[in-house]
Amino acid sequence: MKSELGYNRRKILFFTLLLLLLASLIAIPFCLFRSKTVTPVAKRRLSAPLTVAGIPKKTIWGIDISHHQRIINWNHLTDKPYFIFLKSTEGGSHTDTRFKKYYAKAREKKILCGAYHFFSYRVSGEAQARHFIANTKLHKGDLAPVLDVERARRMPAKREIIKEVNNWMKIVGKHYGVEPILYTDENFYMKYLKGNLHKNYQLWLCDYYQQPDVNWKIWQRTDRFRLSGIHGTVDLNYFKGNFADLQRMTLKQDCCL
């Protein structure tokens, strides 16, 4: 029995080594293939414009900012963007501490500006719409308000997301007299919102790797853009159309608090 047991052990060891060898032969080409496919994606992200000089000619471009940009030296903002979106509110109670100051400065510099709300899944769409309206005074000529909807760690049921997003868009659109803009990424839009919105809202899509396949009006191209007067990096956005097209997406009257 001892000799038989030793033989069986040698057989098991032999076949184990053989299986490991075969696995390594399969794994090496797979890793090489994967590295070849990942590298171009990273390069596409890095190829996005990092300064104004890299933006294609005749492109209508803009930025979006919040209190995270901290202090902005508006006098050094020599390369003025065509438009700026400013964070105003989030959820049902948070307000951006720099919205009013940034808004006043942007208008002073005669930059077309708008405001956005960051959506929360913990509060109803109606409550968030009322919060945005109560804290966001927009004027004639300002860009349409924006709802920023993104994926969260804990997501409610799809039907709840659709319901609350539609409620926000409906209430805000009625108050400001212009259809709001929806900001999200393509995957989120395709999974939750495509075909489920009450209206054909203009889309502002985020994709740092390639141009979205969905019909977008604004494309957030990169979050690594640098602009004189702003410390650190900021989001760069392209508008599909000319400046006159952009102006058609503005309020036709003042909206008081």
pLDDT tens track for 203-257: 999 999 999 999 999 999 999 999 999 999 999 999 999 999 999 999 998 876 5
Q: Helices 125-135 and 158-176 meet at what angle, rounded to 10?
A: 30
The yes-or-no answer on residue 4 being catalytic is no
Write the pLDDT tens digit of every residue in 45-66: 558 999 999 999 999 999 999 9
The bridge status of strand 146-148 relative to strand 112-118 is parallel
pLDDT tens for 133-187 read: 999 999 999 999 999 999 999 999 999 999 999 999 999 999 999 999 999 999 9
Q: Does 6 score more than 70 pLDDT?
A: no
Report whether pLDDT(102) > 90. Answer: yes
DSSP lists the bridge partners of residue 189 as none
- β-partners of residue 61 are 238
Mean pLDDT over residues 11-21, rounded?
A: 63
pLDDT of 218 reads 98
Q: Is 160 a catalytic residue?
A: no
pLDDT at 22: 62
- In this model, does residue 44 exceed pLDDT 80? no
**Contact status, residue 250 vs residue 115, Cβ threshold 8 Å:** no
Which of 255, 248, 257 lies closest to 138 in space, CA to CA? 255
Q: 253: Cβ–Cβ under 8 A, 6 or more apart, which residues?
A: 140, 177
Which has the closest alpha carbon to 127: 156, 166, 167, 180?
Answer: 167
Tokens of 206: 């985020």
Question: What pLDDT, on the 0 to 100 scale, is given for residue 42?
Answer: 44
Catalytic residue among 79, 150, 160, 213: 150
pLDDT digits (tens, 9 = 90+) for 116-134: 999 999 999 999 999 999 9
Query: If one looks up domain 53-247 in CATH, what number appears?
Result: 3.20.20.80
Strands 112-118 and 94-95: unpaired
CB 59 within 8 A of CB 238: yes
Assess contact for 67 and 86: CB atoms under 8 A: no
Tell whether the model's pLDDT for residue 91 goes beyond 80. Answer: yes
Q: Where are the domains positioned within the chain?
A: 1-47, 53-247
pLDDT at 11: 58
Q: Which amino acid is at 236?
A: L
* Helix/strand number for the chain, H first, E second: 6, 9
The runs of H, that is alpha helices, within 109-211 are 125-135, 158-176, 186-188
pLDDT of res. 17: 65
- DSSP 8-state code for residue 47: T
Write down the pLDDT at residue 50. 95
Active-site position among 64, 96, 185, 207: 64
Which band of pLDDT confidence, cut at 50, 70 and 90, is reported for residue 14? low
- pTM here is 0.81
